[in-house]
A and B are shown apart, each in its own frame.
Chain A
Amino acid sequence: MTESELQSLIVQLLGEIAPEIDPKQIEPDANLREQLDLDSMDFQNYVIALHEHTHVDVPERDYAKLQTLSGAVAYLKSRLPSD
């Protein structure tokens, strides 16, 4: 997957959890929990959804790396086989 494909996937999954958000408003380097008003359960559901769609295993200790949109793209990119 390309970076832009990963980005749209992440935005789509966030939209399932917090449908009220406007994808255009997401700042890539800002904390997603704060920007989108996600509580800890929402955040966990987001991580689970990322795993289900990319099959990338995300151990709990890496959760912090998924806290921003750009961080999540980079994290997944580094763990997915390159095409």
Chain B
Amino acid sequence: MSFKPIRKVPTKETLAPNLLDYEALRSDFSWDSARRELDGLPDGRGLNIAHEAVDRHAQGARRDRIALRWLGKSGRQRDITYAELAGLTNRFANVLQDLGVAPGDRVYVLAGRVPELYIAALGTLKHRAIFCPLFSAFGPEPIRSRLSIGEGRVLVTTEALYQKKVASIRNALPHLEHVLILSDSDTAATIPNTHDLGTLLNAASDRFEIPPTDPSDPALLHFTSGTTGTPKGALHVHEAVVAHHITGKLALDFHPDDIFWCTADPGWVTGTSYGIIAPLTNGITSVIDEADFDADRWYGVIEKQRVTVWYTAPTAIRLMMRLGLDAVKQRDLSSLRFLASVGEPLNPEAVAWSDLAFGRPFHDNWWQSETGGIMIANYASMEVRPGSMGRPLPGIEAAIVHQTETGTIELVATPNQEGELALRTGWPSMFRGYWNEPERYQACFTDGWYLTGDLAKQDADGYFWFVGRKDDVIKTSGHLIGPFEVESILLEHPAVAEVGVIGKPDPQAFQIVKAFVALKPGHEPTDELRRTLLGFARSRLGAAVAPKEIQFIDKLPKTRSGKILRRLLKARELGLAEGDTSTLEEN
């Protein structure tokens, strides 16, 4: 079934979209002009994300506007104005300074969506240390590897998460000097070798002047996954705020009175770029819901908070579809003006359903940890082609390319032909390195293009369409999982001889993590052992990374050089032709 384009009549909107004429804005756009929408630090002292997000509003007309509206799991609400946020983030910056943390040191935060996470992130940026978020559903091993690779010096976490996931690995983290604990109760936390964050914040001054910050000073470290090797830490600089800000305006259509809700967790890049930074630089109110997905709760949040712009993910949208139209129609969701989705391709059925349910379609967009901000998007003013990720942002040049045998890049000029999605280098939120891995970084670039690893095609009108991943990285519930990280842990179990991990297609989550396991002699493939391995993987990796399915097989398909052929496992899983098997090991 094909889905008709959803046409727009932008002139009929009461609030004109910021990007009204795509072609015209694209030809007029320059990053210099986008930079001029920001203030910069006073007296020409540079550019700092936290100044643009917090201090410039706290010192201006928007000082009493609510910056963050936090909704607790159990119904509590806390509003923080821009002026208050300035004081709180100043306190955190002073805490880091008093502890002797240096600019450029890595400050990690492992927490659910609590106000202190946001305060720590922005306070870290004020101090010019590097903020690195960790997803709270990670198990001890993903936490250990990311802290270890990024040589984290400070970790902010909660009492419960520390006891459950960090205490057991603390000794394996020689760089981790300070652990700041957010107490689970009204009294200060008293865990040995840690500090109580509340006590430190109360003792710190609420005045802080952001020191001179060069736009190319490092600011954010986002971990992502490749097919092989350990997770990679994509490093971003303060200048990235130019892209955060302008993409908020153009791709998410932020207007000065908006109430914005980004449902993503700051443990992933969307939850930082658009859950923390972009709404604040635009001076609008950002809603944070501490609770996990529940469709009915979500509709209640939109209705009660009068959310105008909503940014969420395909898995949630598909679950809302399952709940059906009735649940939507019982609510007054008329405040919604613009809906956007990211994480994995939004299927056309879901786009069409959202138009029916909310009277407005979800606008899919595309970007990665490495790109720092939205690169390709469907816009408020432009026809939505359900299933397409849209067209490149002004200032972004995207193309479909092939790599030639000599290693150069060949642009694919024919419409609808598959190739690798590539971006012309030079946008401000482009990652500036993988932490301590210059070779892996260099391998992402050829002839002035960043090669994204995503396969896509472009239609005759310039819309891009996602096809798949070039590598074996798994996309699940909007997150990227590296098969190697999962395989390495399962291989540590004494019964396991070999493991191959794939993304198994799934109607809700896009893919789920599935492991194929070959056992060592003397171990039987029983249901009990399968459960043991599943539990072993879950307690080490956490629910977000561990496999959802484990299947025993006698032997894993491998190349002659001994590399596990995950693609063949996937083809078998799907019942597809296995393709060229000439490099298979001989049985």
Interface positions of A (Cβ within 8 A of B): 15-16, 18-21, 33, 37-42, 44-45, 60-61, 63-64
Could you give, for residues 429-458 of chain B, a 1 whenever the CB lies within 8 Å of some chain A CB and a 0 otherwise?
000000000000000000000000000000
The reply to whether B543 and A42 form a contact with Cβ atoms under 8 Å apart is: yes
Residues of A within 8 A of B59 (CB): none
Give Cα distance in the complex from A64 to B300, angstroms.
14
A61 to B331, CA, bound (A): 14
Per-position 1/0 for B312-331, Cβ under 8 A of A:
00010001001110010000
- What would 18 A/B residue contacts be, using CB atoms closer than 8 Å? A16-B531, A19-B532, A19-B538, A20-B538, A20-B539, A37-B139, A37-B538, A38-B543, A39-B477, A40-B315, A41-B512, A41-B548, A45-B548, A60-B322, A60-B324, A61-B323, A63-B294, A64-B296
Closest B residue, CB atoms, query A63: B294
Q: Which residues of A contact B539 (CB under 8 A)?
A: 20
If A15-B531, A60-B322 touch, whether A40 touches B538 (CB-CB below 8 Å) is: no
Report how far A23 CA is from B294 CA in the complex, Å. Answer: 26
**A60 and B295 contacting across the interface, CB-CB below 8 Å:** yes
**A37-B137 in contact (CB<8A):** yes
Bound-state CA distance A16–B532 (Å) is 10
CA distance A82 to B324 in the complex (A): 31
DSSP class of A's interface residues: helix, strand, loop or mixed?
helix
For residue B34, give the distance in angstroms from its CB to the closest CB of chain A: 36
- Kindly state the separation between the CA atoms of A33 and B536 in the bound complex, as whole angstroms: 18
B293 in the interface, Cβ–Cβ < 8 Å?
yes
Chain A residues with CB under 8 A of B508: 41, 44
A37-B543 contact given A18-B538, A61-B296, A61-B327, CB 8 Å threshold: yes
Complex alpha-carbon distance, A58 and B315, angstroms: 20
Q: Which residues of B contact A61 (CB under 8 A)?
A: 296, 323, 327
Q: In the complex, A49 Cα to B295 Cα: how many Å?
A: 20
Question: Which residues from chain B contact A38 at a C-beta distance below 8 Å?
Answer: 543
Cα A44 to Cα B292 in complex, Å, equals 13
A20/B535 contact (C-beta < 8 A), A37-B137, A64-B296 known = yes
A18-B538, A20-B538 known; A60-B323 Cβ under 8 A: yes
Taking each of B512, B543, B544, which has the highest tally of chain A beta carbons within 10 Å of its own beta carbon? Answer: B543
Q: Which residues from A are CB-within-8-Å of B319?
A: 40, 44, 60
Q: Is the CB of A39 within 8 A of B315?
A: no
Tell whether, in the assembled complex, residue B137 and residue A39 are in contact, meaning their CB atoms are under 8 Å apart.
yes
List, in ascending order, chain B residues with CB within 8 A of A19's CB: 531-532, 534-535, 538
- Pick the 10 closest A-B CB pairs, nearest first: A20-B535, A19-B535, A19-B531, A60-B323, A39-B543, A20-B539, A37-B543, A19-B534, A20-B538, A40-B293
Residues of B within 8 A of A44 (CB): 319, 508
With A39-B544, A45-B548 already in contact, 12 other A-B pairs whose C-beta atoms are closer than 8 Å: A18-B543, A19-B535, A37-B139, A37-B543, A40-B315, A41-B508, A41-B509, A44-B508, A60-B324, A61-B296, A61-B323, A64-B296
**In this assembly, does B542 line the interface, its C-beta being within 8 Å of a C-beta of chain A?**
yes
CA distance A37 to B539 in the complex (A): 9
The CB with the most chain B CB atoms within 10 A, among A15, A20, A33, A63, is that of A20
| A-contact 0/1 string along B269-304, CB 8 Å cutoff | 000000000000000000000001111110000000
List A contacts of B292 (CB < 8 A).
33, 40
Q: Give chain A nearest CB distance to B501 CB in angstroms.
A: 16
Give chain A residues whose Cβ lies under 8 Å from the Cβ of B322. Answer: 60
Q: Which residues of B contact A21 (CB under 8 A)?
A: 535
CA distance A42 to B535 in the complex (A): 13
CB of A18 to closest CB in B, whole Å: 6
Within 8 A of A (CB), among B116-173: 137, 139
- Chain A residues in 8 Å Cβ range of B536: 20
Q: Which of A37, A40, A63 lies in contact with B542, CB distance below 8 A? A: A37
Q: How far is the CB of B443 from chain A (nearest CB, A)?
A: 32
Give A38 Cβ to nearest chain B Cβ, in Å: 6
A45–B549 alpha-carbon span in the complex (Å): 12
Chain B residues with CB under 8 A of A20: 534-536, 538-539
**A residues near B544, Cβ cutoff 8 Å:** 39
Chain A: CB-nearest residue to B164: A37
How far is the CB of B482 from the nearest CB of chain A, in Å?
A: 18
